[in-house]
Amino acid sequence: MKRYFRELSVAAALALLLLVLALVAPSFFSPQPLLSRLTAQTPSLVVAVGMALVIICRQIDISVGSQFGVCAVVAGLLAAAGLPLPVVLFTSIGSGMVMGALNGWLVAGLGLPSIVVTLATMVTWQEALRLFQQGKFVNLPPGTQWFGLRQLGGQTALICAALVLLALAAWAMKNLAAGRFIYAVGTDAEAARLAGINPRRTTLGAFTLLGALTGLAAVMNVVQSPQVQPTCGAGLELKVIAACVVGGVAVNGGRGNLWGVFAGLLLLAMINPALTSLHVEAHWEKAIQGLVILLAVVADGLRTRRSRR
Amino acid sequence: MNTFLKRLLARPEAILFFVLVAEIVFFSVAGRNFNTSDNVANIVRHSAEIGMLALVMMPIILTGGIDLSVGSLLGLCAVIFGVFTHEWKMAMPLAAALTLGVGAMAGGVNAALITVLRLPPLIVTLGTFSLFRGLAEAITKGTMTYRDFSPEFIALGRERWMGLPLQGWLFILIAIGIAVLVHRTTFGRAFRAIGFSPEGSRYAGLPVQRRIAFTYVLAGIVAALAAIVFTARLRQARADAGTGYELQAITAVVLGGTSIFGGVGTVGGTLLGIASVAVLTTGLKLIPAIALAGIGSELGSLLTGALLILALAGGTLAKSLAVRRSRRQSHAAPKPTITT
Amino acid sequence: MKRSTFLTSLLAFALVTACDKKSDSSSAGNSSDGKKLTIALLPKSKGNQYFATVEKGARAAAAELGVELIYDGPTNTDPAKQNEIVEGWVNYGVNVIAAACENREGISGALKAAQEKGIKIVTYDSDTTPDARSFFVNQATAQGIGETLMDTAAKLCGEEGEFAIITATLTAANMTEWRKNIEARLAAKYPKMKLVTTKPCDDQKDKAQAEATNILNAYPNLKCIMAICSPAVPGAAEAVKQAGKAGVVKVLGLGLPSENRQYVKDGVTQAVILWKVEDLGYLTIQAAVAAAKGTLKTGDKTFTSGKLGAMEIQDTDIILGKPFVFTKENIDQFQF
């Protein structure tokens, strides 16, 4: 109980928000908009899982938004060329892996700081994509949306896929050697090395996995509508990093729980809909979003301060 | 002279210095009207605000911290300055002074959260990044723009003195101030010590948290000053001022050889970082072939990204080469053990 | 050591100022020396299909007239970027600057400074203050856009009921202008209609979809969503489609036919409002060249522009034509 205090308190904050909504704006819970909203969050959730691994490994990746855009356009162009969906899916994941591995190689191989490396790759992919696509939407052939299923089926499939992935990753982080390696390297890379873990390979793996998940998430985003916007990844990095932080992942590595990330993402994602349902004016939204992030970290700070004394 | 040159070449900033010289030579030849006083004035005007933010970001990064909120704070201070001058009808100097005070307070919020609650700077300033921009939007309801500033005020963004735009002089003053603070005072040398080893600095008797707090408050004040300069240059104050400036400031600092982990870096290097990015992005647009192809802006960002990676990788490579060489030397002639 | 770096950076600065010389004056604002004219075209933002289409039309005109065309613009939302690009062009020595102004007053200072150097200024798409340019290629004024949007929305809703607006960002200057005009028209002509909320989408289709979903949920009596930035139109349409309210809640907005074709055909989006974008770029370059050569002067009543033929001039506005409403019936005729 005490060990998961942070994750539970985020879940409690989410529950409180939902309770207020249930009392003030019960229509918030009518099934249709709820399903659409949750489906729209699935790509972010998949990227957030990968981001959590990288942050637990004591690194950070701010290029995921640009990677997401590149993968989405690659997927969109292939689908528009009439290639079957599995080919599209694997090419997108592959492109993500290549970009993730490049970050990983620069960080783990050359020993460069991840925040700077990914700042540079963020700009590079983003501008290259702008030069290549000029902002043009990619129109997808009919039958791509929802994998050719009906809307309800497609949404259910996406939500289930994201949840299964989350559960698998959470299980793996706890029970597989590779998962424990990530915690070990994030806590103390030198100690991990002495214990026989290869910190470089672990870091490279975390970045590559994040890239692959970003590629997967891009496809999950592409199939939700009949067209792809090349700038669809803008701001994604801040959103998922904030979700990780609010969900209790420590930025100096070694600590974090994927279910906490899930709760953090839901909490942040529900603020805007909640404010609309409560008829709060739009110019307050950004300030409230910032306040929630700050409150989460302040609460954490106060707790650790008390426990230090 | 020979040893001076050798020592110079051994510094990571030396590479950047040659990059800058190469840029200037190249654009002088290939660019159109690059070597003109108008172009120099343009470069100075367009990079003064980001440069100021980079200068105060440098001590923060030197202590091992980071501040993502400076761009948003620039926006908030611009809006508050507009409120002071237009809604409350304050005199310009008073409004400016109070805006600097607001900047100091906002920097104080960051400082308090980071030093009193011991929260990671990345997260705290990620939160205030949204909060400050959000407050700016809330104050103006997003739509309000303050314009019609007095001509004397606008002159700050427009006029030159001895050929250099006024904000350039302001920038030089801040640069000298920060350089003296960081390199010439015991107060400021603590920043490097803290970044190198916070625990060690504490045992050495340094007031670590107070010094760290100072860097964030200073950043707040200078961000407010940059907001005023920005307002004078654009002749208007609106909530979107300074969007994205934080990343450009960090880019300049890191490019200038300051380690993102703290403990290593010089103000001179930061100046070189600011200048090489500013010259690169301006110069590219003056090359006729690039201008006619319509890719000036994108190419500028792309090459800045590439330069950042190359500078970092070059620095690391040079270091590992040096380590290997010194290892070889130490094999040949083992270092004498130091006795006291 | 530290001093040496500080010194080197001072040295670098000195180097820049040392090789300083006066601007090459022959290139600035001089069009009669037989050299090719250089026209600079400034979009509100780059990497945006609307302005890519403008560029296409502009390049066609530039090739026809044998002039050089420079195309550059902001790649991010930094409000100072347009001014910086204009100031760079003044120094580069272009003959004409054709600008789509993100910020009416904000850019006027930079444009006036360019005029003082003898550079002709033409604006297109959205105007600056009239004293900072010679001509405005007018495809629609802020007032015209606001009124067309509001009138179309009123017609779709039967002049009564609630509607909501989705904009790019709350701070975008031109959209603030449009919103003002929408609200003025609403107050003047449609007392039974009510604007319930205005939400930003950061020029993101997906965010527009999320906001539209929220709005549909929070305002069950909503009759219409008005999307005033182009990515928001398909975003809002997708939200209405997923909510199963196609046809019940009307969608209209400013957007490109190619981005909205399917939704219009399916009856989710009722009206997309725009002008002939490629013609706008073409006409802008035609006018810019004519203004530089002196064949287009203040006081002219018509302007003959290449393949488009004679265009009407009102005061200093060259009129491209009224905004065009794309509907199910005519959208297939337009390919941009």
Identify the residue among B11, B27, B143, B144 best suited for mutation to test binding to C, counting C beta carbons within 10 A and taking the highest: B143
What pLDDT is recorded for position C11? 52
Higher pLDDT, B4 or C263: C263
Beta strand C250-254 with C222-227 is parallel
- Which pLDDT score, from 0 to 100, does residue A304 have? 72
Closest residue, chain A, to B297 (C-alpha)? A127
Q: Say what percent of chain B tops pLDDT 70.
A: 93
Give the pLDDT score at A4: 81
Query: In Å, how far from its chain's centre is CA C260?
Result: 19
% of chain C beyond a pLDDT of 70: 90
A170 to each of A173, B118, B155, C64, how far by Cα in Å?
5, 29, 59, 63
In one-letter notation, the amino acid at residue C236 is A
Nearest CB among C75, C214, C259 relative to A277 is that of C214
pLDDT in tens, A141-185: 988 899 888 899 999 999 999 999 999 999 999 999 999 999 999
Please report, as a single letter, which amino acid is at residue C166. Answer: I
**Residue of B180, B258, B250, B184 whose CA lies nearest to B219:** B250
CATH 1.10.3720.10 fits C142-274, yes or no: no
* pLDDT at residue C334, as a whole number: 79
User: Closest residue of C to A134, CA-based?
Assistant: C47
What is the rounded CA–CA span in Å between residue B311 and residue C187? 59
Chain B residues 284-303 with CB within 8 Å of chain C: 285-286, 291-292, 294, 296-298, 301
Is residue C197 a contact partner of residue C215, using CB atoms and an 8 Å limit? yes
pLDDT for res C311: 87
**B131 vs C24, which has greater pLDDT?**
B131
Check if the beta carbon of residue A298 is closer than 8 Å to that of residue B120.
Answer: no
CB-nearest to C171 from B42, B142, B147 is B142
| Structure confidence at residue C27 (pLDDT) | 41
Beta bridge partners of C38: C68
Please determine, for residue B186, whether its predicted confidence score (pLDDT) is greater than 50: yes
Summarised one tens digit per residue, pLDDT across range C154-171 is: 999 999 999 999 999 888
Alpha carbon of A229 to those of A75, C230, C235, C259: distances in Å? 12, 11, 10, 10
Tokens of C322: 């009224």
Structure token digits, residue A150: 């009906």
| Contacting residues of C for B140, CB less than 8 Å apart | 171
In single-letter form, the type of residue at position A106 comes to L
State the CATH class of domain C23-139+277-321.
alpha beta
A120/B128 touch (CB, cutoff 8 Å), yes or no: no
**Residue contact C262–A281, C-beta within 8 A:** no
Residues from chain C that touch A37, judged by Cβ atoms under 8 A, are 210, 213-214
- 8 Å CB contact of A33 and C234: no
| Chain A residue with the nearest C-alpha to that of B135 | A287
Rg of chain A over Cα atoms, rounded to whole angstroms, equals: 20
CB B78 within 8 A of CB B241: yes
Any bridge partners for residue C304, and if so which? Answer: C310
Q: What is the pLDDT of residues A36-47, one digit of tens each?
A: 999 999 999 999
> Quick one: tokens of C62?
């530039």
User: Would you state the pLDDT for residue C62?
Assistant: 96
pLDDT value at position C4?
Answer: 54
Q: Which stretches within chain A are classed as H helix? A: 5-24, 31-56, 64-80, 85-104, 114-133, 151-175, 177-187, 189-194, 199-222, 236-246, 258-277, 285-308
Per DSSP (E only), the strands in B150-260 are 160-161, 164-165
Determine the residue type at C8: T
Chain C residues with CB under 8 Å of B28 CB are 19
B158/chain A closest Cα distance in angstroms: 31
Chain A CB contacts of B308 under 8 Å are 116, 119-120
Q: Residue C67 pLDDT more than 60?
A: yes
**Per-domain residue ranges for chain C?**
23-139+277-321, 142-274
The span from the CA of B48 to the CA of B69, in Å, is: 18
Residue A108 at interface with chain B, using a CB cutoff of 8 Å: no
What would the two tokens of residue C172 be?
A: 């975008």
Burial C131-142 (b: 16+ CB within 10 A, else e): ebbbbbbbbbbb
Task: Return the biggest CA–CA distance within chain A.
Answer: 64
Query: Closest residue of B to C19, CA-based?
Result: B35
SS3 category, C101:
coil
**Cβ atoms within 10 Å of C48's Cβ, excluding its own:** 22
**Given CB atoms, is B108 within the 8 Å cutoff of chain C?**
no
Whether the pLDDT of residue C134 is over 90: the answer is yes
Query: Using one digit for the tens of pLDDT, what is the confidence trace for A218-243?
Result: 999 999 999 999 999 999 999 999 99
Asked if the model's pLDDT at residue B137 lies above 90, the reply is yes
Which percentage of chain B shows pLDDT scores above 90?
Answer: 78
Q: Which residues of B touch A (CB under 8 A)?
A: 66, 113, 117-120, 122-124, 126-135, 137-138, 140-142, 247, 250-251, 254, 259-261, 295, 298-299, 301-302, 304-306, 308-309, 312-313, 316-317
Q: Average pLDDT of A92-115? A: 95
Nearest to C47 among A134, A226, A276 (CB): A134
Kindly report which listed range (A54-58, B143-147, C169-173) carries the lowest average pLDDT score: C169-173
- Residues from chain A that touch C230, judged by Cβ atoms under 8 A, are none
Cβ count within 10 A of residue C305: 23
How near does any CA of chain A get to the CA of B35, in Å? 28
For residue C54, the number of C-alpha atoms closer than 13 Å in the C-beta half-sphere is 28
Each residue's pLDDT tens digit, C102-119: 888 889 999 999 999 999
Q: Report chain C's mean pLDDT, rounded to a whole number.
A: 87
* Structural domain boundaries in chain B: 50-286
pLDDT digits (tens, 9 = 90+) for C171-211: 887 888 899 999 999 999 999 999 999 999 988 999 999 99
Read off the tokens for A107: 């960080």
What would the mean pLDDT of C81-98 be, rounded to a whole number?
A: 95
Yes or no, beta carbons of A234 and C202 under 8 Å apart: yes
Chain C neighbours (≥3 Cβ pairs under 8 A) are A, B
Q: Cβ separation of B275 and C13 shorter than 8 Å?
A: yes
Q: Indicate the residue type of A288.
A: I
Q: Are C40 and C98 in contact (CB under 8 A)?
A: yes
Distance CA B320, CA C42 (A): 47
Q: Which residue in the set A136, A229, A282 is minimally distant from C170, CB to CB?
A: A282
Question: How many C-beta neighbours within 10 Å does residue B20 have?
Answer: 26
**CB C281 within 8 Å of CB C55:** yes
Torsion of CA C27, C31, C37, C40, to 10 degrees: 70
CA distance B71 to chain C (A): 10
Q: What is the pLDDT of residue B9?
A: 62
Give residue B311's pLDDT. 84
Q: Per residue in C300-315, pLDDT tens?
A: 888 888 888 888 888 8
Is the pLDDT reported for residue C144 higher than 80? yes
Q: Do the strands C135-138 and C317-319 form a parallel or antiparallel pair, or are they unpaired?
A: parallel
Asked if B302 lies within 8 A of A282 by C-beta distance, the reply is no
Distance, first Cα to last Cα, chain B: 33
Mean pLDDT computed over B138-161: 90
Q: How far is CA A166 from the centre of its chain?
A: 11
Radius of gyration of chain B (CA): 22
Our CA-based measurement puts residue B35 at a distance from the nearest CA of chain C, in whole angstroms, of 5
Query: What's the rounded Cα separation, in Å, for the pair C280 and C50?
Result: 11
Write the CA distances from C304 to B257, B260, C64, C95, integer angstroms: 58, 60, 14, 21
Residue C178 C-alpha, separation from nearest chain A C-alpha, in angstroms: 18
Please judge whether A127 and B133 are an interchain contact, meaning their C-beta atoms are less than 8 angstroms apart: no
Interface of A with B in 264-303 (CB under 8 A): 281-291, 293-294, 297-298, 300-302
C-alpha B182/C-alpha B191 separation (Å) is 7
Q: By C-alpha distance, which of C148, C144, C165 is closest to C227?
A: C165
- pLDDT digit string (tens) for B190-230? 999 999 999 999 999 999 999 999 999 999 999 999 999 99
> pLDDT, tens digit, for every residue of B306-336?
999 888 887 777 777 777 777 776 665 544 4
- Put simply, whether A132 touches B (Cβ < 8 Å) is no
Query: Using a CB-CB distance cutoff of 8 angstroms, which residues of chain C are in contact with residue B154?
Result: 109
Whether chain B has a CB inside 8 Å of the CB on A83: the answer is no
d(CA C320, CA C303): 11
Q: Which residue, among C273, C271, C287, has the nearest Cα to C320 in the 3D structure?
A: C287
Relative to beta strand C271-274, strand C324-326 is antiparallel
Name the residue facing B301 among A123, A245, A293 (closest C-beta): A123
Taking the CA of residue A141 and the nearest CA in chain B, the distance in Å comes to 30
* Closest-CA distance of chain C to residue B118, Å: 31
Question: Which helix (H) or strand (E) element contains residue C124?
Answer: strand C120-124
pLDDT on residue B168: 96
The pLDDT of residue C26 is above 50: no
Q: SS3 for C191?
A: coil
How far apart, in whole angstroms, are the C-alpha atoms of residue B8 and residue B268? 13
Nearest to B295 among A110, A131, A297 (CB): A131
Distance from CA of C187 to the nearest CA of A (A): 20
Asked if A225 and C234 come within 8 Å (Cβ–Cβ), the reply is yes
Question: If DSSP codes are grouped into helix, strand and coil, which group holds residue C68?
Answer: strand
Bridge partners, C138 (sequence order)? C319
Contact C37, C69 (CB under 8 A): no
Partner-chain contact A113 B306, CB within 8 Å: no
Give the per-residue pLDDT at C8.
54
Phi, then psi, of A281 in degrees rounded to 5 = -70, 150
Tell if the CB–CB gap between A128 and B251 is shorter than 8 Å.
no
Tokens of C246: 């196609």
**Given an 8 Å threshold on Cβ–Cβ distance, is B235 in contact with C106?**
yes
| Euclidean distance between CA atoms C148 and C140, whole angstroms | 10
Pick from C24, C46, C171: CB nearest B240: C171
What count of other Cβ atoms lies within 10 Å of the Cβ of residue B1?
Answer: 5
Per-residue pLDDT tens digits for C242-262: 999 999 999 999 999 989 999
Q: Which residue of C has its CA nearest to A39?
A: C210
Look at A283 and B137 and tell me if their CB atoms are within 8 Å.
Answer: yes
In the block, residue with structure tokens 């994750």: A7
Interface test with C, best of A35, A123, A136 (most C CBs within 10 A): A136
Is B234 in contact with B157 (CB distance < 8 Å)?
A: yes
Does the structure's ipTM exceed the value 0.90? Answer: yes
Tell me the pLDDT band of C218, cut-offs 50, 70 and 90.
very high
Residues of A with CB below 8 A from C265's CB? none
Q: What is the pLDDT of residues B87-127, one digit of tens each?
A: 999 999 999 999 999 999 999 999 999 999 889 999 899 99
Residue B98, SS3 per DSSP: helix
Q: Is the Cβ pair B141, C170 closer than 8 Å?
A: yes
Strands C309-314 and C135-138: unpaired
Residues 76 to 105 of B: which have CB under 8 A from any C CB? Answer: none
The average pLDDT across C32-53 equals: 85
Query: C23-139+277-321 and C142-274 share one CATH topology?
Result: yes
